[in-house]
Amino acid sequence: MTQKPDTMNPKKFDPQPQDFWQEIVAAGTYDNAPPGGHKHFFPARLADGRQLALPIRQRGSSNEALASLIINQASLAVLDALADALAAKVRPLAPDVIVAMPTLGLPLAQETARGLGHSRYVPLSTSRKFWYDDDLSVPLRSVTSPDQHKQLYLDPRMLPLLEDRAVLLIDDVLSTGASIVAGCRLLEKCGCKPALIGCAMLQTDRWRDALRTYDRTLPDRVIGVFSSPLLVEGENGGWHPA
Condensed to tens digits (0 to 9), the pLDDT of residues 153-180 reads 999 999 999 999 999 999 999 999 999 9
Q: Could you give the CA distance from residue 6 to residue 108 in angstroms, rounded to a whole number?
A: 28
Q: Could you give the CA distance from residue 71 to residue 107 in angstroms, rounded to a whole number?
A: 8
Residue 143: the pLDDT is: 62
Domain assignment present for 64:
no
Segment 199-220 shows an average pLDDT of 97
Query: What pTM does this model have?
Result: 0.91
Q: How confident is the model at residue 147 (pLDDT cuts 50, 70, 90)?
A: low
Cα 21 to Cα 68, 73, 84, 106: the distances in Å are: 10, 7, 16, 17
Residue 1: the pLDDT is: 42
Residue type, 216: R
Long-range contact set of residues 10-16: C-beta below 8 Å, sequence gap at least 24: 10/34, 13/40, 13/41, 13/53, 14/40, 15/40, 15/41, 15/53, 15/55
Domain assignment present for 99:
yes
Residue 11 has phi, psi (to 5 degrees) of -65, -20
Residue 13: the pLDDT is: 66
Condensed to tens digits (0 to 9), the pLDDT of residues 61-79 reads 889 999 999 999 999 999 9
Tally of domains within the chain: 1
Alpha helices in the chain (DSSP H): 76-90, 105-115, 159-162, 178-189, 207-214
DSSP string, 155-180: -GGGHHHHTT--EEEEEEEESSSHHH
Domain assignment present for 44:
no
Domain assignment present for 47:
no
* Structural domain harbouring 84: 76-227
- Any idea what DSSP says for residue 84? H
Q: Could you give the CA distance from residue 187 to residue 97 in angstroms, rounded to a whole number?
A: 12
Segment 203-224 shows an average pLDDT of 97
Q: What is the total residue count of the chain?
A: 242
CATH code of the domain containing 96: 3.40.50.2020
Condensed to tens digits (0 to 9), the pLDDT of residues 82-112 reads 999 999 999 999 999 999 999 999 999 999 9
